């Protein structure tokens, strides 16, 4: 079963018969400011991609990791994990996942036949976790923005170690959290912890398809064998290596994203009636508006699309997630939101 994600602008533009160039696409959590593409030597296009030791060292420093695997994004890892874990621990049958979150995790474990136990904002109680479990934590959560502190996660890491379990941490949006609560520096002493990190979201280059898995060397070796050769193309490796060592650009990006998130939140608050909003939460890469019970959120989403504004309707159809807009795009968003007050009502 294929899941619906943001970023499907070509399909949406065709559906609403509006030229792609006329759309304001806020359907993803990808930074609207991209790392500038450096001049790429021709050899990276002409040769099969090789293991890039300079990239690995730059990534280790950026992520504060002792060992990592370069991947073409998190998706392949998410899909492979259930089968590899079952091979490693045949007694494991239960996986704990967030009720709201990136649904590819849920799909992968469900397809593999695991029993799903879903939790809300708070992690399942330590005393309630069964033996040989898997705990998936999206930190910070997408779309809720919920952030679990590292001190809390270390307790679960220890619990899972003692009960024969696996801890999977999806830190795709961790780059914008300051101070960081990343667990990448707390992996090697535990062989039961895997951390997924995204490159494209913070650096605004999701199209080059590169990501990183931090974990025990035995896990990395096994996954690398399963993935096969030439996972990440040479130009992508070259670009990401340059981006990882460009500290000045990274600081500038943090400031831009923080300002843009504040501006977006302000536009949302000013242009969506108070009586419709339950809460607004998120990160410096997206803001999610949760509506009160009875609001037809799906119609809200459709009406925005009819105005050429594409946002992400959450899977439960109770909220809309807005990616960041550039300053010059905020006026279009504000006008589209203002036009909705007449069509959105509480039953």
Q: What angle do CA 158, 87, 159 make, to 5 degrees?
A: 10
Residue 340 has pLDDT above 90, yes or no: no
pTM for this entry: 0.95
193 three-class SS:
strand
Task: Give the model confidence (pLDDT) of 127-165 as tens digits.
Answer: 999 999 999 999 999 999 999 999 999 999 999 999 999
pLDDT of the residue at 217: 93
Among the candidates 230, 245, 260, a domain finishes at: 245
Query: Same domain for 15 and 76?
Result: no
pLDDT in tens, 25-50: 999 999 999 999 999 999 999 999 98
pLDDT, tens digit (0-9, with 9 covering 90-100), for 276-285: 999 999 999 9
Q: Where are the beta strands (DSSP E) in the chain?
A: 24-25, 68-71, 94-98, 115-119, 134-138, 166-170, 193-198, 211-215, 277-283, 286-291, 309-310, 312-313, 319-323
- Residue of 28, 102, 35, 101 whose CA lies nearest to 324: 28
Domain-located, residue 1: no
Phi then psi for residue 344, to 5 deg, are: -105, 125
CB-CB contact of 175 with 243 (8 Å): no
pLDDT at site 226: 93
* Residues 115-127: tens digit of each pLDDT: 999 999 999 999 9
Q: What is the spatial distance between Cα 177 and Cα 195, in angstroms, rounded to a whole number?
A: 16
Q: What's residue 293's pLDDT?
A: 92
- DSSP per residue, 86-111: HHH-TT--EEEEESSS-HHHHHHHHH
Look at residue 99 in the predicted model and tell me its pLDDT.
96
- Report the share of the chain in percent with pLDDT over 70: 97
Considering only residues 118 and 345, tell me which one the structure prediction assigns the higher pLDDT.
Answer: 118
Q: Provide the Cα torsion 283, 155, 109, 298; round to 10°.
A: -30
Q: Is 346 within the bounds of a domain?
A: no
* Total number of domains in the chain: 2
Residue 3 has pLDDT above 70, yes or no: no
Is 255 in the same domain as 214?
Answer: no
What pLDDT is stored for residue 346 in this prediction? 46
Cα 58 from Cα 52, distance rounded (Å)? 10
pLDDT at 191: 86
Task: Indicate which CATH number applies to the domain containing 112.
Answer: 3.40.640.10
Does the structure show a pLDDT above 70 at 1?
Answer: no
- Cα of first residue to Cα of last residue in the chain, in angstroms, is 33
Q: Do 210 and 113 sit in the same domain of this protein?
A: yes
Give me the domain span that covers residue 317.
9-34+249-338
| Over residues 244-250, mean pLDDT | 98
87 and 201 housed in the same domain: yes
User: Mean pLDDT across the stretch 13-20?
Assistant: 95
4 in any annotated domain: no
pLDDT tens per residue across span 158-190: 999 999 999 999 999 999 999 999 999 999 888
Distance CA 281, CA 130 (A): 31
> In 196-276, which ranges are continuous DSSP H helix?
200-203, 217-227, 234-245, 247-271
120, 196: one domain? yes
Residues 6+ apart with CB under 8 A from 180: 174
Query: What mean pLDDT, rounded, does the chain reach?
Result: 94
* Cβ atoms within 10 Å of 109's Cβ, excluding its own: 23
pLDDT of residue 18 exceeding 50, the answer is yes
- Confidence (pLDDT) at 265: 98
- The enclosing domain of 284 has a CATH number of 3.90.1150.10
CA distances to 80, 214, 234, 270, 290 from 342, in Å: 47, 49, 51, 15, 19
Q: Can you tell me the mean pLDDT for 250-274? A: 97
Q: What are the percentages of helix, strand and coil residues in the chain, rounded to 5? A: 45, 20, 40
In this structure, the strands spanning 134-138 and 166-170 are parallel
Per-residue confidence (pLDDT) for residue 343, from 0 to 100 = 53
Domain assignment present for residue 260? The answer is yes
């Amino acid at each position: 079963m294929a899941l619906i994600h943001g970023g499907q602008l070509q399909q949406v533009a065709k559906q609403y018969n509006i030229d792609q160039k006329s759309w304001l696409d806020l359907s993803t959590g990808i930074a609207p400011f991209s790392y500038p593409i450096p001049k790429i030597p021709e050899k990276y296009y002409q040769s099969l991609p090789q293991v890039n030791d300079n990239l690995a060292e730059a990534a280790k420093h950026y992520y504060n990791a002792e060992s990592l695997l370069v991947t073409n994004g998190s998706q392949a890892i998410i899909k492979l994990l259930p089968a590899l874990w079952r091979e490693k621990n045949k007694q494991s049958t239960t996986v704990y996942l967030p009720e709201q979150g990136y649904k590819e995790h849920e799909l992968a474990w469900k397809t593999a036949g695991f029993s799903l136990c879903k939790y809300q904002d708070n992690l399942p109680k330590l005393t309630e976790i069964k033996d040989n479990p898997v705990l998936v934590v999206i930190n910070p959560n997408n779309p809720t923005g919920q952030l679990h502190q590292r001190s809390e996660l270390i307790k679960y890491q220890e619990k899972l170690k003692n009960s024969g379990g696996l801890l999977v941490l999806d830190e795709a949006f961790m780059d914008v959290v300051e101070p960081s609560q990343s667990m990448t520096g707390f992996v090697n002493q535990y062989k039961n912890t895997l951390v997924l990190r995204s490159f494209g979201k913070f650096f605004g280059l999701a199209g080059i398809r590169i990501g990183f898995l931090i974990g025990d060397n035995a896990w990395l070796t096994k996954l690398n064998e399963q993935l096969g050769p030439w996972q990440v193309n040479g130009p992508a490796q070259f670009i990401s290596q340059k981006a990882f060592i460009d500290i000045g650009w990274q600081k500038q990006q943090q400031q831009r994203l923080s300002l843009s998130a504040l501006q977006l939140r302000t536009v949302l608050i000013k242009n969506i009636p108070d009586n419709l909003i339950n809460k607004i939460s998120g990160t410096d890469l997206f803001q999610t508006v949760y509506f009160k019970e009875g609001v037809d959120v799906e119609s809200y989403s459709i009406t925005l699309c009819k105005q050429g504004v594409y946002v992400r309707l959450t899977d439960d159809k109770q909220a809309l997630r807005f990616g960041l807009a550039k300053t010059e795009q905020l006026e279009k968003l504000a006008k589209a939101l203002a036009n909705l007050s007449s069509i959105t009502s509480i039953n």
